[in-house]
Amino acid sequence: MVHSKLALLPLFVILTISVEVEGAKSSYGVYNSGKNSVKLFVFGDSYVDTGNYLNSTSYKPPNGITFPGYPAGRFGNGRILTDYLASFLKTETPIPYALKNSSNLQNGMNFAFGGTGVFQTKVDGPNLTVQIDSLEQLIKQNVYSKSDVESSIVLVNTCGNDYVTFLLKDKNLVGIAKYIKSVVDEFSVNLRRIHNLGVKKIIVSLLEPIGCYPAISVASSYHDCVDRLNEISRDHNKIVLQNVEDLNKKSGKPVFTTLDLYNSFISTIKDMQKSRQENSTLMNPLEPCCVPVKGEYECGKVDENGKKEYTLCKKPEHSFFWDIVHPTQNGWYSIFKKLEPSLYQIIGKNF
């Protein structure tokens, strides 16, 4: 999960490889204020980071224009995966670790940091291992009790930036199979660490189709995803699924479950492409709303004179992608609706 997925790395350089709807205001539009004992702990990258990358464009306009109405640390115009999962759990979005001095710790905590992965990436931020270290330290400090952790739900969404880092180094994909195995092996080590802290429900996001990023699909004028790169996601996910099965066998319980971002992304994009065939005024789902006007690009970046280095579409609520890698609130809402049935199976209908 990648523009901070490499948070603020200019992902369009990958192209040198040779090759809000009204629904968003419904059940997931407003945080449920009801009391709930479950705490949500979040680890990963910009797809789930709600404010840890303090010195990034996630805190600059136009990010946050749909929700909460101003830049608040999310890479997008509004709610992201973390927000929708928290609302599903009938709790508020957990506070970012960077703001941990707040007294509002009862909903859990978000350790995710845009641009990071399981290994070191181009973004100088805490990778998954360091993020887990932070929770471990809070437990040792009795900020969260054993009971808090055991009754919590953990979301882990990462690895996308690891592949972006690889692609920037090796555009011919030489050694990609070996690299995928190393990423998933390290990922699995970290998942076991989280379980060893006492967590009994760990939701693991499968990797999204990286060949569908606008940073990639621009090569086809946003007409098609690049399947050669989507194959990386599929191969990654295949090994993750096997490892999750093995981890559950060893634990004797279904501690680890997966969230299929890959197929929910693909399905949503296809649905929107079909709708666009019937109504040409709708926006191409592979085309970003926030578009670069020149090379080095971040949505929200301005030049030394304060001039915007991006253009913005008229209706972000009709877009799937916000920028060259992150979905819009509308995109995340559509994705989450496809994930919802599996979440009921994972968590139970009592939520």
Which residues are known catalytic residues?
Answer: 46, 323, 326
Q: Which two tokens stand for residue 16?
A: 């040198």
- Cα–Cα distance measured from residue 65 to residue 84, given in angstroms and rounded to the nearest whole number: 17
Place of tokens 């009204």: 22
- Cα–Cα distance measured from residue 255 to residue 62, given in angstroms and rounded to the nearest whole number: 39
Task: Report whether 225 contacts 256 (CB < 8 A).
Answer: no
Q: What is the dihedral angle through the alpha carbons of 273, 278, 279, 282, rounded to the nearest 10 degrees?
A: -10
Q: Which two tokens stand for residue 166?
A: 């690889």
Task: Report whether 42 contacts 82 (CB < 8 A).
Answer: yes
At a CB cut-off of 8 Å and minimum separation 6, what does 13 contact?
A: 168
